[in-house]
Amino acid sequence: MCNFTHEGAEAPDQCPKCGAPKEKFAALEADHVEKIERSRYGNALLMELNGMMEALAEMSEAGIEDDLDPACVKLWKECLDFSSFARQSLKAEIQNHMGKGKWG
């Protein structure tokens, strides 16, 4: 009813998300289970990349603050801009996956 996906041999007595009774749960087809597992892997990669881009942003800010020389500052600013662009793109891609039911 609410698209909650339970993993296990039997459905819970009630849905932990919406409270629907056990009878409302339905077993997923094998191909749907495969799609969920595939999306988990791809989305985990995107989330890991997002963490890397957060670290790049922090490092870039430190490099800009260090202000060793103009060429270094320019490079750090470019890295900061790239990390911001990448993080926004990652968010958009994850949102697309959620809209297509590819978040599992």
pLDDT exceeds 70 at position 103: no
Model pLDDT, residue 104: 58
CA distance 3 to 60: 40
Crossing angle of the two packed helices 70-99 and 30-66, in degrees rounded to 10: 160
Model pLDDT, residue 68: 97
Position 21, amino acid? P
Task: Mark 9-37 as b/e (b = at least 16 C-beta within 10 Å).
Answer: eebeeebeeeebeeeebeeeeeeeeeeee
Residue-wise pLDDT for 42-87, tens only, equals: 889 999 999 999 999 999 999 999 999 999 999 999 999 999 999 9
Model pLDDT, residue 38: 85
Residue-wise pLDDT for 12-37, tens only, equals: 999 999 999 999 998 888 888 888 88
